[in-house]
C-alpha cells in the first residue's frame, strides 16, 4: 500500500513540477497511522527536501460519534485529558520531528481536533476541548513541532468558530488556542511545581524581554474540585519583581457557553478583548495560588527593567523612590539624578500610559484613572536609566 501511494505521489509530483517547476509540496498527511504510512514514506523518499518542503501528519484525540449519553460523554472527557493520551501524541511528534530533521524540513500536525468523525456534541464543543487543545499545543511545541491546524468548518461540534444567522461565536476550543497564544511567547525553560500528585501539566517559557510565562493546566475531571498547587519557577536571581495571572475557566468541563479567558469573552464579531490580569506577590522567587480542577492559569513573572530602589539603593546613588506605595490616587516620584530626565509609566503589557518631564528631582503623577494592579515607572536621562514599580489599590 505504501509503495503504491509513493508511486502515485511521484506521478502527481512529476506532472505538476513539469508544469510548475517552483511548486511546493507537503505530505504525506496520513490519517493517524504514522508507523505504517508516514515513517515508511520518510525512509523511502531519501531525497525528501527535493520532494516536500514540510512533513505532515493527521491526528485526533479519539473517536467521535452520535452516542451522547452521560456515560459516553464522561468516558470521552476523561480520555481526552488522560496522561497516556498526551504521551502517545508526544511520541508520534518526537518520532516524526526526527525524520523531518534528517531532511532538514519542519514537521507539522496538519489536521487535528478533539475527536474524529466530526467530533461529539457535549465534548468537542465543551470546555474540556479548551483544556485539551491548550495542553496538546504546548506538548507539540515542546517536541519541536512546527505548528498545528485544527480541522473544522463554521458548524458542527468541533469547529473553532460557528456561524448562525451571520453571527459568529467562539467555541470553547478557541479559548484554549488563545491561552496558548498568550503563554507561549518564548523558549521553554525548566519549572518546578510542588504538590503535583494530581493530573496536572505545566509549561514555562521565557520571552525576549526575559519575562517568564508559566501555564498550569489542572486536568482533574470529577474529583478534587479545588486542588491547591504551590508553584516555584527555577529563577536564580532577584530580577522578577512581580507576577500576574489570568484564568481559563468555565462552570464545568461540559459547559459549552460560559467560558472565559482573563474574565473576558470573544464577541460576536470575533474581536479578542483586553484580558483582565490579576496581580500576584512574588516572595523568594515563588508565588502561590489556587488552580481548581478542570481549569488553567497563565502566570506572567515580570522582569525588572534596570535597578529598583527596593533592591539596589545601597549601590546606586541615582536611585528612584516611589511613595506612597501602594497608592490609590497619587504617587510621588523622586530621584537624585540631575539634568534633563523623562518619566514613563507602563502597564504590565508594556504599553506606555504616561510620559512627562521630571521636575526638579520630584514629580507627582495622578493615578486615579488607572485600573488596580502593578505599574512600572522608568526614568531616563543623561545620567542613565532607573526603574521601579508601584501598586494601584
Phi, psi (degrees; rounded to nearest 5) at 304: -75, 130
Neighbouring C-beta atoms of residue 341, cutoff 10 Å:
21
Provide the pLDDT confidence category of residue 69 given band limits of 50, 70 and 90: very high
CB of 326 closer than 8 Å to CB of 370 = no
Question: How far from the centroid of its chain's Cα atoms is residue 266's Cα?
Answer: 17
Burial class (CB in 10 A: 0-12, 13-18, 19+), 80: buried
CB of 127 closer than 8 Å to CB of 254 = yes
Q: Return mean pLDDT, the chain.
A: 84
Indicate whether 225 pLDDT > 70.
no
Residue 229 backbone class (left: φ over 0; alpha: ψ -120 to 50; beta: rest)? beta
Which residues, in sequence order, are CB contacts of 382 under 8 Å at separation 6+? 339, 340, 341
The pTM (predicted TM-score) of the whole model is 0.76
Architecture of domain 309-392: Sandwich (2.60)
| Angstrom distance (rounded) from CA 32 to CA 38 | 9
Indicate whether 153 pLDDT > 80.
yes
**245-257 pLDDT per residue, tens:** 999 999 999 999 9
| Angstrom distance (rounded) from CA 45 to CA 4 | 13
C-alpha cell at 309: 530602589
| Angstrom distance (rounded) from CA 13 to CA 19 | 10
User: What per-residue confidence (pLDDT) applies to 232?
Assistant: 56
| Angstrom distance (rounded) from CA 109 to CA 148 | 5
User: What per-residue confidence (pLDDT) applies to 230?
Assistant: 56
State how beta strands 373-381 and 341-346 pair: antiparallel
| Angstrom distance (rounded) from CA 53 to CA 356 | 52
| Cα-trace Rg, the chain | 25
CB of 367 closer than 8 Å to CB of 330 = yes
Q: Higher-confidence residue: 123 or 287?
A: 123
CATH dotted code for 187-303 = 2.60.40.1180
Are domains 187-303 and 309-392 of this chain identical in fold? yes
**76-121 pLDDT per residue, tens:** 999 999 988 899 999 999 999 998 888 888 999 999 999 999 999 9
Provide the pLDDT confidence category of residue 140 given band limits of 50, 70 and 90: very high
Indicate whether 228 pLDDT > 70.
no
User: What per-residue confidence (pLDDT) applies to 313?
Assistant: 31
**198-210 pLDDT per residue, tens:** 888 999 999 888 8
User: What per-residue confidence (pLDDT) applies to 323?
Assistant: 87
CB of 167 closer than 8 Å to CB of 154 = no
Provide the pLDDT confidence category of residue 311 given band limits of 50, 70 and 90: very low
Q: Mapped to the 3 state alphabet, what secondary structure does the chain carry?
A: CHHHHHHHHHHHHHHHHHHCCCCCCEEEEEECCHHHHHHHHHHHCCCHHHHCCEEEEEEECCECCCCCCHHHHHHHHHHHCCHHHHHHHHHHHHHHHHHHHHCCCCEEEEEEECCECCCCCCCCCCHHHHHHHHHHHHHHHHCCCCCEEECCCCCCCCCCEEEECCEEEECHHHHHHHHHHHHCCCEEECEEEECCCCCEEEEEEECCCCCEEEEEEECCCCCCCCCEEEEEECCCCCCEEEEEEEEEECCCCCCCCCCEECCECCCCCCCCCCCCCEEECCECCEEEEECCCCEEEEEEEEECCCCCHHHHHHHCCCCEEEECCCECCEEEEEECCCCCEEEEEECCCCCEEEEEECCCCEEEEECCCCCCEEEEEEEEECCEEEEEEEEEC
CB of 148 closer than 8 Å to CB of 142 = no
Question: How far from the centroid of its chain's Cα atoms is residue 68's Cα?
Answer: 30
| Angstrom distance (rounded) from CA 55 to CA 356 | 53
Query: In percent, how much of the chain has pLDDT > 70?
Result: 85
Q: Which CATH class is domain 2-169?
A: alpha beta
User: What per-residue confidence (pLDDT) applies to 314?
Assistant: 35
User: What per-residue confidence (pLDDT) applies to 258?
Assistant: 93
**367-384 pLDDT per residue, tens:** 999 998 888 887 776 666
**73-83 pLDDT per residue, tens:** 999 999 999 98
**340-370 pLDDT per residue, tens:** 778 888 887 667 788 888 877 788 999 999 9
Provide the pLDDT confidence category of residue 312 given band limits of 50, 70 and 90: very low
Which residues, in sequence order, are CB contacts of 316 under 8 Å at separation 6+? 307, 386
User: What per-residue confidence (pLDDT) applies to 310?
Assistant: 35
Range in 7-21, 33-47, 296-310, 311-325 the model is least confident about? 311-325
Domain regions of the chain by residue span: 2-169, 187-303, 309-392
User: What per-residue confidence (pLDDT) applies to 33?
Assistant: 75
Indicate whether 390 pLDDT > 80.
yes
User: What per-residue confidence (pLDDT) applies to 242?
Assistant: 77
Amino acid at each position: 500500500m505504501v509503495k503504491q501511494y509513493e508511486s502515485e505521489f511521484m506521478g502527481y509530483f512529476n506532472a505538476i513540477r513539469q508544469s510548475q517547476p517552483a511548486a511546493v509540496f507537503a505530505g504525506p498527511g496520513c490519517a493517524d497511522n504514522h508507523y505504517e504510512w508516514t515513517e515508511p514514506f520518510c525512509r523511502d523518499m531519501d531525497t525528501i527536501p527535493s520532494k516536500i518542503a514540510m512533513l505532515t501528519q493527521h491526528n485526533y484525540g479519539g473517536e467521535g460519534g452520535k452516542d451522547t449519553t452521560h456515560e459516553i460523554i464522561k468516558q470521552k472527557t476523561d480520555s481526552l485529558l488522560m496522561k497516556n493520551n498526551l504521551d502517545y501524541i508526544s511520541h508520534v511528534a518526537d518520532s516524526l520531528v526526527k525524520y523531518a530533521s534528517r531532511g532538514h524540513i519542519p514537521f507539522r500536525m496538519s489536521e487535528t481536533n478533539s475527536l474524529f468523525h466530526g467530533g461529539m456534541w457535549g465534548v468537542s464543543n465543551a470546555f474540556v476541548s479548551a483544556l485539551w487543545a491548550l495542553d496538546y499545543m504546548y506538548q507539540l511545541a515542546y517536541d519541536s513541532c512546527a505548528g498545528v491546524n485544527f480541522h473544522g468548518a463554521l458548524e458542527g461540534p468541533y469547529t473553532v468558530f460557528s456561524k448562525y444567522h451571520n453571527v459568529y461565536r467562539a467555541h470553547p476550543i478557541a479559548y484554549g488556542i488563545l491561552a496558548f497564544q498568550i503563554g507561549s511567547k518564548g523558549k521553554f525553560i525548566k519549572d518546578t511545581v510542588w504538590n503535583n500528585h494530581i493530573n496536572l501539566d505545566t509549561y514555562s517559557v521565557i520571552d525576549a524581554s526575559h519575562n517568564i510565562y508559566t501555564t498550569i493546566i489542572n486536568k482533574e475531571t470529577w474529583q478534587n474540585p479545588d486542588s491547591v498547587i504551590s508553584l516555584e519557577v527555577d529563577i536564580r536571581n532577584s530580577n522578577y519583581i512581580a507576577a500576574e495571572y489570568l484564568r481559563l475557566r468555565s462552570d464545568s468541563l461540559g459547559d459549552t457557553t460560559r467560558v472565559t479567558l482573563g474574565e473576558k469573552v470573544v464577541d460576536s464579531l470575533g474581536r479578542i478583548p483586553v484580558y483582565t490580569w490579576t496581580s500576584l506577590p512574588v516572595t523568594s522567587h515563588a508565588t502561590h495560588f489556587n488552580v481548581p480542577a478542570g481549569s488553567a492559569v497563565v502566570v506572567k513573572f515580570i522582569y525588572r527593567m534596570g535597578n529598583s530602589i527596593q533592591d539596589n539603593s545601597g549601590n546606586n546613588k541615582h536611585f528612584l523612590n516611589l511613595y506612597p506605595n501602594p497608592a490609590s490616587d497619587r504617587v510621588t516620584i523622586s530621584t537624585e539624578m540631575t539634568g534633563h530626565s523623562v518619566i514613563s509609566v507602563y502597564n504590565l503589557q508594556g504599553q506606555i500610559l504616561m510620559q512627562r518631564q521630571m521636575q526638579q528631582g520630584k514629580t507627582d503623577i495622578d493615578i486615579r484613572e488607572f485600573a488596580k494592579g502593578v505599574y512600572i515607572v522608568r526614568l531616563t536621562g543623561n545620567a542613565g536609566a532607573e526603574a521601579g514599580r508601584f501598586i494601584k489599590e
